[in-house]
Structure 1
């Protein structure tokens, strides 16, 4: 059986580590036309570029006359999202609202405002409202799912591998209830995920749209693996054959790890060969530990002396489980938080601090149980059993609080996911155009230092253009800095100039010379401002 466990873990980790490209909590890094820009003609498309691939959920446009154009067609290609613009838009300010889902299954929404001809008044920015009731229900469903997976499936594994006999009815009943709770929560959370993705109220849960939206996110993989884990655990719990109980318990525990590794902030982070196996090991370790608490307390309360062998076996295995989940947790925290300053400066970091404090308390109780209370089970007066039960109950309470905190991470993007949006906001950009040609120039970072310039060229209607050469020219006449001319190199998305050093903050004149073909050359001019 030990060889079977090792083989199962090796195959699972190989499957997780061999995943495809890294998907994370996406952020918009560029729009074309750019937010706030004025174009002369109605663009054929609006191109949005994210830092990771996304899938469109809902896209609408409110034109200058206040009319809403819903259900716009959008083509997703890697990090690019090309949105078809309705023809014949009136001159004035247009508000494009988008809602997409990222690789970790979480929705991202925003707006891009551009004007045709000249800016005009706007009736406000439309967008999906966040429903507190829907988000509260999603949090409760997540916590209930965690209870089913960790306490329910973990409890079945404990009764199959640590206890040498089938569980009694007093142990089987609460485990059955937890498995049923987890199954209900798994199904409901798919629809609630769709509500959150679309920004719909809780009353819309009975409609088909949120369920379809939830299915289109990566969260459906988590739900599928979770349901498989709960079903296999249920079969193993009610079977009297030891081999079948052990096989079901082992496979169910593996599916718990797979379930949490299939979606979410942690598993979607790069490098996935590291993060997905880390999430898997962390989840399996948590299920082994938390799953033992309820059956352990019931066994010790009923017969302390007879429970001593099972307690010792669990305690020995817990050393390995705690080491694995601690190491995996540290790896994931380092990937997600990236710097100590983010621990206190972000909501994600603050939740992590609170969780770490509770986990430290849990580890303290586990050490107390192993070093002092376990040996006291053999006392004839039963006092050792009562003290151990009280300690285990305290562990259960702390575990519930930890799971509640972990559920909050669904709504708190990690710091590493916030950086692309922050970098995009910190960049300086200029939108240059003539009636027939446009160029979006982005300088990152938008302050005096070594800068990378990115240039995207398009037609006057925002259709892609593939020029033969692009040259960037920057100057600052008020400081006596003459033209700084750099030939741009072709990049995966547009043209780039690396190692550009602009020594002063303030406005700079920018010119982009474009060799469209052997017979046509264009020069677009404007200005860009660097922050101090």
Structure 2
């Protein structure tokens, strides 16, 4: 059986990563609405007898409003709202806008768009009627996220998580385990990635929430609106904290990393404490920029969820970022002592314990039930993430075993080659200074290659490198799933939304198809007796086809001078709504497109006139779904 080397493992893990992202990517991309609209006043599709003073919307969680969050349009498409949308009584889960006085009867359309407290855009529309439904309604198009902007924004979020992990994990590894040039590259690369992705997210934020497309990315007015929101303030705070992080990196990998900086042991210890305290403050602040603007800030127990989310992010960064730093050290062949690897192993174990504790709380808070764990998209992604973490812990077990087998080797000090001595002393002995420097570089390259071959020949060190490489590859996938989770509606919210919809549906009559009634009438005059067969199809709120057939006692079709049918919802005082019947044939009338604004128990009134003085009105109840 062939040994799976690092060179063969990288392409394999890359293929697995691509396959997993393709499998879970499309599903998560469809979930964008986190704050769900739960009720409206006036109700969707309702008919009110008089114009209301304002329109009120209620959401499942808090929303952020702008000047155009609520638009009310009359049947001709002209706006009739006035003033800016605002929360009702300071409740962040509500939105209201006033209406102009003296607006006419007809059907009005309410178009709304907002940003949920966890930073995701939501939008929709509904209608209500004043007096009676009108024949025409305004046509509106709700804001949709531009696919290009959506893809760029998702990439930016993934890059931001990756940069944070590399920055914090690399710095912790350098301070606790070992500082080296490869570790410095990991930390600085993380800073650059986080800074660049944060700038990109700040520019893309307005286009992402407004649905205006890439053209709005560099619109300063849109950027100003973004900075006035909580997510925009969080991104700006992140940039300010990264400025402090740049100073921290300069000290950590600069003067502090040099052993011969002239400081005493006591002074170096004081600097180490200062770096530790300052680094902890900056890292916590960076993690808080996610907690204050995403899932943790909305929903159940935000006062506890936000600090727990900060701890969770820091645990992820210390573990996975440290893995990347350890891999970089092993991959470049830099010597690392067994004690340093063991310190990281203990640090990683503590991070895993923090992740388990905070992850259990977050899972309960965001999922809420066992059914939501498998019945919602968020729950399924969470299961995938949990499975990947289990794989990571299993790989970490093998890494600990390889760590226990490591042995520190003190390599003998080699005598410097004459050319190297000549290059450093400035003496040529027949060799020019340029040639001596060239020989010195060649000797250094040969020495490094020989040392690398020797380290690669160490089975224990090679085994540790392979296991850490596998851990890092799985960590890349964990970050990808984490990014998808931040863009997916939490399972608890999705379940509550479904339950609310089910409860609303339970109050309405079950859908049974067309409603049919047989009504006997007698006007009292000659040929005044007969039967009316009434059919309402599909007997649901909205457009219906109303058909009426009249027959005499013998069952033959019969015409009458006048026939009227109207509907009234007595409990809500809607109606009477009269149907415009059109005669089709002897004894047959029909009204197409007859609109009933809502479901419920309606009162059908049938009026038949058989002569100038002979008339009768019959009333029956009918259920509209």
Query: After superposition, what is the alpha-carbon deviation per residue over 1:466-501, rounded to whole angstroms, capped at 9, x for unaligned?
Result: xxxxxxx99xxxxxxxxxxxxxxxxxxxxxxxxxxx
Would you say 1:162 and 2:173 are equivalent positions?
no
Unaligned segments of structure 1, at least 5 residues? 1-23, 430-444, 449-472, 475-505, 511-526
TM-score (norm 2): 0.61
Instruction: Give the equivalent residue in structure 1 for 2:142.
Output: 127
Number of residue pairs the alignment of both structures matches? 420
Instruction: Give the equivalent residue in structure 2 for 1:409.
Output: 485
| Superposed displacement of residue 156, structure 1 | 1.3
Instruction: Give the equivalent residue in structure 1 for 2:204.
Output: 192
Query: After superposition, what is the alpha-carbon deviation per residue over 1:28-81, rounded to whole angstroms, capped at 9, x for unaligned?
Result: 222111110112333221112234343313322332013356886212231332
Segments of 4+ in structure 1 off by > 6 A? 527-531
Query: After superposition, what is the alpha-carbon deviation per residue over 1:431-463, rounded to whole angstroms, capped at 9, x for unaligned?
Result: xxxxxxxxxxxxxx7389xxxxxxxxxxxxxxx
Structure 2 Cα separation of the partners of residues 85 and 198 of structure 1: 24
Q: In structure 2, do the counterparts of structure 1 residues 308 and 121 end up closer, same or farther at CA, with 3 Å as the change threshold?
A: same
Q: In structure 2, do the counterparts of structure 1 residues 95 and 374 end up closer, same or farther at CA, with 3 Å as the change threshold?
A: farther
Q: What does residue range 378-397 of structure 1 map to in structure 2 within 5 Å? A: 378=408, 381-397=457-473
Q: In structure 2, do the counterparts of structure 1 residues 528 and 254 end up closer, same or farther at CA, with 3 Å as the change threshold?
A: farther
| Superposed displacement of residue 342, structure 1 | 1.6
Q: In structure 2, do the counterparts of structure 1 residues 333 and 314 end up closer, same or farther at CA, with 3 Å as the change threshold?
A: same
Q: What does residue range 156-305 of structure 1 map to in structure 2 within 5 Å? A: 156-163=171-178, 167-239=179-251, 240-241=255-256, 242-243=271-272, 244-302=274-332
Unaligned segments of structure 2, at least 5 residues? 1-32, 257-270, 410-454, 510-569, 572-598, 604-620
Structure 2 Cα separation of the partners of residues 185 and 146 of structure 1: 9
Structure 1 Cα separation of the partners of residues 477 and 237 of structure 2: 24
SS of alignment partner, residue 95 of structure 1: strand
Instruction: Give the equivalent residue in structure 2 for 1:339.
Output: 369
Structure 1 Cα separation of the partners of residues 348 and 185 of structure 2: 24
Bigger radius of gyration, 1 or 2? 2
Instruction: Give the equivalent residue in structure 2 for 1:47.
Output: 56
Instruction: Give the equivalent residue in structure 2 for 1:36.
Output: 45
Q: 1:102 aligns with which of 116, 128, 131?
A: 116
Q: 2:386 aligns with which of 356, 378, 395?
A: 356
Are the equivalent residues in 2 in contact too, given 1:266–1:336 (CA < 8 A)?
no
| Superposed displacement of residue 428, structure 1 | 4.2
SS of alignment partner, residue 206 of structure 1: coil
Moved more, 176-185 or 364-373: 364-373
Q: 2:131 aligns with which of 112, 117, 138?
A: 117
**Higher RCO, 1 vs 2 (CA within 8 Å, ≥6 residues apart):** 1
Query: After superposition, what is the alpha-carbon deviation per residue over 1:182-210, rounded to whole angstroms, capped at 9, x for unaligned?
Result: 01211221332332222221221111344
Structure 2 Cα separation of the partners of residues 71 and 148 of structure 1: 45
Q: In structure 2, do the counterparts of structure 1 residues 361 and 529 end up closer, same or farther at CA, with 3 Å as the change threshold?
A: farther
Q: In structure 2, do the counterparts of structure 1 residues 136 and 43 end up closer, same or farther at CA, with 3 Å as the change threshold?
A: same
SS of alignment partner, residue 130 of structure 1: coil
Are the equivalent residues in 1 in contact too, given 2:148–2:214 (CA < 8 A)?
yes
RMSD after superposition: 3.2
| Superposed displacement of residue 265, structure 1 | 1.4
Instruction: Give the equivalent residue in structure 2 for 1:139.
Output: 154
Q: In structure 2, do the counterparts of structure 1 residues 247 and 231 end up closer, same or farther at CA, with 3 Å as the change threshold?
A: farther
| Superposed displacement of residue 373, structure 1 | 4.3
SS of alignment partner, residue 287 of structure 1: helix
Would you say 1:400 and 2:430 are equivalent positions?
no
TM-score (norm 1): 0.71
Instruction: Give the equivalent residue in structure 2 for 1:10.
Output: none
| Superposed displacement of residue 88, structure 1 | 5.0
Moved more, 209-218 or 197-206: 209-218
Are the equivalent residues in 1 in contact too, given 2:402–2:461 (CA < 8 A)?
no
Are the equivalent residues in 1 in contact too, given 2:602–2:624 (CA < 8 A)?
no
Would you say 1:330 and 2:342 are equivalent positions?
no
Q: In structure 2, do the counterparts of structure 1 residues 428 and 170 end up closer, same or farther at CA, with 3 Å as the change threshold?
A: closer
Are the equivalent residues in 1 in contact too, given 2:81–2:99 (CA < 8 A)?
no
